[in-house]
Amino acid sequence: MVYHSVALPMICFTTLWGLVGVVAPFLVPKGPNRGVIITCLVLTAVCCYLFWLIAILAQVNPLFGPQLKNETIWYLRYFWE
Amino acid sequence: MSSSFRSEEMCLAQLLFQTESAHNCISELGHLGLVQFKDLNPGVTAFQRRFVKEVKKCEKMERILRYLEKEMVKSSIVIAPTKEKEIVPCPRDVLELESTFEKLEQDLREINRNHVALRQNLSELMDIDSLLRMAEDFFEEAESLMSCSEPPSEDSMCMTVSSRITSRRNSSSSIIGPPYLGFIAGVIKQERFPAFEKVLWRLFHGNFVLRHAEIQATEELQTDRGLAKKDVFIIFVQGDHVREKVRKVCDGFHASLYSCPKTLHERKEMSNNIMTRMEDLRLILRRTEEYRAGVLMKAADHVHEWSSKVKKMKAIYYTLNLCNIDITQKLIVAEIWCSVSDLTLVHNALIKGSEQSGSSVTPVLNRIQTQQTPPTFNRTNSFTEGFQAIIDTYGVGTYQEINPAPYTTVTFPFLFAVMFGDCGHGLVMTLFAVWIVTQAERRYIILLMGMFSVYTGLIYNDCFSKSFNVFGSSWRVQPTFHPHGPWHNDTLHDCEHLQLDPVIPGVYSGVPYVFGIDPVWNIASNKLSFLNSFKMKMSVILGVSHMLFGVTLSLFNYAYFRNFQDVLIEFIPRMIFLLSLFGYLVLLILYKWCITVPSDVAPSILLLFINMMLFDYQSQHHLLYEGQKAVQICLVVTAVLMVPVMLMVKSFLVYRTYMKSRQPVFGNSLNDQHGADTRSSFSQHQSNETVSMSDIFVYQAIHTIEFCLGCISNTASYLRLWALSLAHAELSEVLWRMVLQVGLSFSSGMGSLMLALIFAAFAVLTVTVLLVMEGLSAFLHALRLHWVEFQNKFYEGSGYKFTPLSFDSLLKTQQ
């Protein structure tokens, strides 16, 4: 699967973690633990989204490429498509 | 609902109840577990308290119970755990239980004494029995020697030096006639025997005959005496006067002497006698043991119940010691800390208690106002309990300040996972945690750590040091070859390592790998250059975000305590300092990632930052964007300006209010300016002491320096996120390459067996080194990051914990 732009995964994951962090807190049933559960959901969404975002942003504009052994290059040439 | 974000609001209440209903009321409160009793007699020592006798009685009963339990364990009787019944112990029960316990203890001790005495008797009888049997053999042998005048044969029992004497005696006996040999028989410990013999030899100059033999240890004897082996001996001496000497020697060696009849017939009779006596004794012993077991088993049914009763009673008496009994001896006054929301529950419990005791007067509960600091009470459920314990270990929160525990439930496992970062290991950890949770019901921390580790492992694309290629890599090799690029087939033969260049179109597809790190980096030899740069920047970004979060929490603290002045003079300068320097650093990192820069002119972020601080703008250092110089100078100047703001303004304001308050009437104006609820640091002025300006200034200076230098050092400290994840990844790769890969490359038939062995080694090493050691290490460092770098932005931690009287926790901890 080759995505033709960065936008598609961006939108995808932003919506996913947005659902977890923004929408789900409204769906938590009322009870003594509501505050803690909402905090957990929001923090999880923020942490995981931030982590994914850092990983993808670090690779959008690479300054240098991977250095491979000649055997690996041979293999990749014919088997990775 | 908001109770877990801040500690609960507590109130001090006064309880008044009748002395008769005291036990029931306190036991109801103990079952409720929501009330902490305040010590109303702080000056009184433990021995002067009113109920000290009762407490001593309870302790004596506990001692007896412990003795009983030990005895039960010795006789391997199983103590059945009883269900926890809501037993209300009352003063009458104390006396009853006490007498039962004492009787039980006396009985048991007597039984044990008898048992010991009986056993001793039995062992003595057995000694005599073996003595008689050995003596039989000796005499037979002696008589046969006498008649045959032959030298004794070698296979008679242990011959000593005295064998030569025997022959001499034999020769002399033929002259004198049948000799009269007096003898002394007894039992001695085997290890003492050689010394015993030497002494006898010196005493009699060899003029004696000594025979000895080991008593064959039967199983019964062995359990009695342990491993002490004993020997039977017989000494034949001439003459009666030497008997005393021999007796004294025997006493010296703790040998027990027994009288042994001379004739065969008498010996046989004595032997039979002893046999019957032994049988009787054995019977008695068995009966004694059965009786003992019966007594213990009857007690075993009740031991748990008694034990919990005694503990509850001791707790109640201890609590009563904290209360005041008024003059008429009919009323007990107690002061308790309890949460405001629990007041109705407490009141109901009191009413129930007094109803149970049948008293007609309902207890009274009054709230009283106080200036003392209440204890810190954080209500936890089984999920948040572990995290609250982590926070409390560092320091119990000050009353009503923000509780970091609910945030820690997510950030702590997340930071652990960033350092642990391997989805294979994370999966193993998660499975282990699930197993533990089904068994023990409290270890949710490990479960969360495992789940987050799986996520970060997927993003690092690291599973037992291998990567997944789910979405297709963004890097292509083909475009570098002819005709698009510079490589030919010969290039491959000539060079061993070649680097892909993203500038060549097609090599890098322009779209990064969708979820995590591209799998091509796993097979690249310059993997670490890319990963190090990525992880270091990630650590800085995560660290600055975490610290910003901490500073924001301090805003909530100021707002809650209505300390708006501090918001202006502490929070805002801190935020500006942090954001203008480190927020800008994060922005630089993100900016450099988002733009395309030709790699030979790309500036290093670190150098940029250092030069920014040093105001070094020489032209050979390239800049990332236009106007960067102006922006950076502006930011640094702002940050530097914040330092004197933090340092001076607060001290100046404090000084000004202090000077103003000294002029009018002392107490009133202070109360006008600061309301009774303010818990600001100005409260120190409400006392009549003189405030020294230098103290405030130094205090402020320390905090400012701590914050500013702390920002820098703490940001650098977050780099441990990079360091540990690198260590983990490298260890994992070493294990793969040096252990498992070697196993997989065997091609012979034995290869399968070798692979099985090598896999076993791989599994053991993975679990011990990577899971346990690295896990503990990451746990520790995540803990440190929370305790130091995060919490020193907002947490005071100078409160004391709420310890309610709770029978549940009492019984749980002591069992």
Chain position carrying tokens 């293999």: A75
| Confidence (pLDDT) at B86 | 57
Mean pLDDT across B753-757? 89
Contact B508 A1 (CB under 8 A): no
| Confidence (pLDDT) at B784 | 93
Mean pLDDT across B227-244? 76
Q: Which residues of B463-487 are buried (b: 16+ CB within 10 A; e: fewer)?
A: bbbebeeebbbbbbbbbbbeeebeb
Task: Evaluate if residue B680 carries a pLDDT over 60.
Answer: no
Chain A CB contacts of B471 below 8 Å: 1, 3
Q: Which of residues 395-414 of B touch A (CB under 8 A)?
A: 406-407, 409-411, 414
**How far apart are the CA of A23 and the nearest CA of chain B, in angstroms?**
18
Distance between the two ends of chain B, CA-based, in angstroms?
Answer: 33
Chain A CB contacts of B481 below 8 Å: 77
Contact A1 B471 (CB under 8 A): yes
Contact B498 A70 (CB under 8 A): yes
Q: How far is CA B85 from the centre of its chain?
A: 30
Q: Is B545 on the interface with A (CB under 8 A)?
A: yes
| Confidence (pLDDT) at B729 | 94
Closest in A9, A50, A72 to B523, CB measured: A72
B462 contact partners, CB below 8 Å, separation of at least 6: B421, B422, B423, B424, B729, B732
B182 contact partners, CB below 8 Å, separation of at least 6: B236, B237, B238, B239, B240, B243
Q: How far is CA B218 from CA A28, B115, B123, B188, B258, in A?
A: 74, 19, 11, 17, 21
| Confidence (pLDDT) at B621 | 62
Q: Which of residues 438-467 of B touch A (CB under 8 A)?
A: 455-456, 459
Tens of pLDDT, residue by residue over B184-196, are 788 888 888 888 8
Contact A66 B527 (CB under 8 A): yes
Angle at which helices B527-560 and A34-60 cross, to 10°: 150
Contact A50 B500 (CB under 8 A): no
At B600, is the pLDDT very low, low, confident or very high (cuts 50, 70, 90)? confident
Please give the structure tokens belonging to residue B637.
Answer: 């100047």
DSSP code per residue over B539-554: HHHHHHHHHHHHHHHH
Contact B152, B166 (CB under 8 A): yes
| Confidence (pLDDT) at B151 | 47
| Confidence (pLDDT) at B224 | 56
| Polymer length of chain B | 815
Contact B458, B423 (CB under 8 A): yes
SS3 assignment, position B375: coil
| Confidence (pLDDT) at B225 | 55
Please give the structure tokens belonging to residue B755.
Answer: 């692979």
d(C-alpha B798, C-alpha A14), whole Å: 41
Question: Which of B533-537, B613-617, B645-649, B799-803 ranks highest by mean pLDDT?
Answer: B533-537
Chain A CB contacts of B507 below 8 Å: 65
Q: C-alpha angle B440/B443/B447, rounded to 5°?
A: 120
At B232, is the pLDDT very low, low, confident or very high (cuts 50, 70, 90)? confident
Low-confidence ranges of chain A (pLDDT < 50): 1
**How far apart are the CA of B773 and the nearest CA of chain A, in angstroms?**
25
Tens of pLDDT, residue by residue over B761-795, are 999 999 999 999 999 999 999 999 999 989 888 88
| Confidence (pLDDT) at B685 | 47
Contact A63 B599 (CB under 8 A): yes
Tens of pLDDT, residue by residue over B265-313, are 888 888 888 899 989 998 998 998 888 888 888 888 888 888 888 888 8
Chain position carrying tokens 């316990």: B101
d(C-alpha B9, C-alpha B374), whole Å: 9
CA dihedral B236, B240, B245, B249 (to 10 degrees): 30
Contact A48 B455 (CB under 8 A): yes
| Polymer length of chain A | 81
Tens of pLDDT, residue by residue over B64-103, are 888 888 888 887 777 766 665 656 667 777 788 888 888 8
Beta strands per DSSP E along B24-102: 35-37
Contact A65 B502 (CB under 8 A): yes
Mean pLDDT across B667-695? 51
Q: How far is CA B585 from CA B579, B636, B637, in A?
A: 9, 12, 15
Chain A CB contacts of B500 below 8 Å: 65-68
Tens of pLDDT, residue by residue over A69-79, are 888 888 888 88
Type of residue at B790: F
Q: Which of residues 337-356 of B touch A (CB under 8 A)?
A: none
Lowest mean pLDDT among B156-160, B555-559, B747-751: B156-160
| Confidence (pLDDT) at B316 | 87
Q: Is B556 on the interface with A (CB under 8 A)?
A: no
Q: C-alpha angle B503/B509/B511, rounded to 5°?
A: 115
SS3 assignment, position B331: strand
Q: Which residues of A31-66 are buried (b: 16+ CB within 10 A; e: fewer)?
A: eebebbbbbbbbbbbbbbbbbbbbbbbbbbbbbbbb
SS3 assignment, position B8: coil
| Confidence (pLDDT) at A53 | 94
Lowest mean pLDDT among A12-16, A45-49, B28-32, B204-208: B204-208
Please give the structure tokens belonging to residue B557.
Answer: 């603290």
| Confidence (pLDDT) at B422 | 92
Angle at which helices B693-717 and B650-662 cross, to 10°: 160
Contact B542 A69 (CB under 8 A): no
Closest in A3, A43, A51 to B456, CB measured: A51
| Confidence (pLDDT) at A40 | 92
Closest CA to B64 of B102, B113, B96: B102
Task: Evaluate if residue B640 carries a pLDDT over 80.
Answer: yes
Beta strands per DSSP E along B111-217: 182-189, 209-214
Tens of pLDDT, residue by residue over B525-575, are 999 999 999 999 999 999 999 999 999 999 988 888 888 888 888 899 999
Closest in B407, B478, B602 to A39, CB measured: B407
**How far apart are the CA of B537 and the nearest CA of chain A, in angstroms?**
9
Give which of B409, B410, B447, B594 to mutate to test A binding, by max A Cβ within 10 Å: B410
Q: How many CB pairs under 8 A join A and B?
A: 164
Mean pLDDT across B461-468? 91
Contact B456 A56 (CB under 8 A): no
Mean pLDDT across B36-55? 84
Mean pLDDT across B387-403? 89
Tens of pLDDT, residue by residue over B411-443, are 999 999 999 999 999 999 999 999 999 998 778
Q: C-alpha angle B74/B80/B83, rounded to 5°?
A: 150
Contact B513, B544 (CB under 8 A): no
Contact A50 B493 (CB under 8 A): no
Closest CA to B48 of B235, B309, B285, B321: B321
**How far apart are the CA of B513 and the nearest CA of chain A, in angstroms?**
7
Closest in A47, A62, A74 to B410, CB measured: A47
> What ipTM is given for this predicted complex?
0.95
By percentage, how much of chain B surpasses pLDDT 90? 23
Closest CA to B489 of A54, A72, A70: A70
CA-nearest residue to A5 within chain B is B511
Q: Is B508 on the interface with A (CB under 8 A)?
A: yes
Q: Is B238 on the interface with A (CB under 8 A)?
A: no
At B683, is the pLDDT very low, low, confident or very high (cuts 50, 70, 90)? very low
Q: Which of residues 557-616 of B touch A (CB under 8 A)?
A: 590, 593-597, 599, 602
| Confidence (pLDDT) at B682 | 46
Phi-psi region at B666: left, alpha or beta (left = phi > 0; alpha = psi -120 to 50): alpha
Contact A66 B499 (CB under 8 A): yes
Question: What global pTM score does this model have?
Answer: 0.80
**Is the model more confident about B110 or about B603?**
B110
**How far apart are the CA of B712 and the nearest CA of chain A, in angstroms?**
22
**How far apart are the CA of A11 and the nearest CA of chain B, in angstroms?**
11
Cβ count within 10 A of residue B170: 17
Mean pLDDT across B508-523? 89
Residue B478, H or E segment: none
| Confidence (pLDDT) at A3 | 55
Task: Evaluate if residue B727 carries a pLDDT over 60.
Answer: yes
Order of strands across the sheet that contains B256-258: B209-214, B230-237, B182-189, B256-258
Q: Is B523 on the interface with A (CB under 8 A)?
A: yes
CA-nearest residue to B4 within chain A is A36
Chain A CB contacts of B542 below 8 Å: 50-51, 54
Q: Is B518 on the interface with A (CB under 8 A)?
A: yes
Q: Is B178 on the interface with A (CB under 8 A)?
A: no
Cβ count within 10 A of residue B428: 20
Report strand pairing: B35-37 vs B331-339: antiparallel
d(C-alpha B708, C-alpha B697), whole Å: 16
* Alpha helical stretches, state H, chain A: 7-18, 24-27, 34-60, 70-79
At B161, is the pLDDT very low, low, confident or very high (cuts 50, 70, 90)? very low
Contact B512 A2 (CB under 8 A): no
Report strand pairing: B182-189 vs B230-237: antiparallel
**Is the model more confident about B162 or about B629?**
B629
**How far apart are the CA of A22 and the nearest CA of chain B, in angstroms?**
16
Contact B406 A64 (CB under 8 A): no
**Cis peptide leading into residue B483 (ω within 30°):** yes
Chain position carrying tokens 């010991």: B116
SS3 assignment, position B201: helix
CA dihedral B465, B468, B473, B475 (to 10 degrees): 10
Average pLDDT, chain B: 82
Contact B612, B603 (CB under 8 A): no
Q: How far is CA B79 from the centre of its chain?
A: 26
By percentage, how much of chain B surpasses pLDDT 70? 88
Chain B CB contacts of A54 below 8 Å: 534, 537-538, 541-542
Contact A47 B414 (CB under 8 A): yes
Task: Evaluate if residue B676 carries a pLDDT over 60.
Answer: no
For residue B801, the 8-state DSSP code is B
Burial of residue B21 (number of CB atoms within 10 Å: 0-12, 13-18, 19+): buried
SS3 assignment, position B796: coil
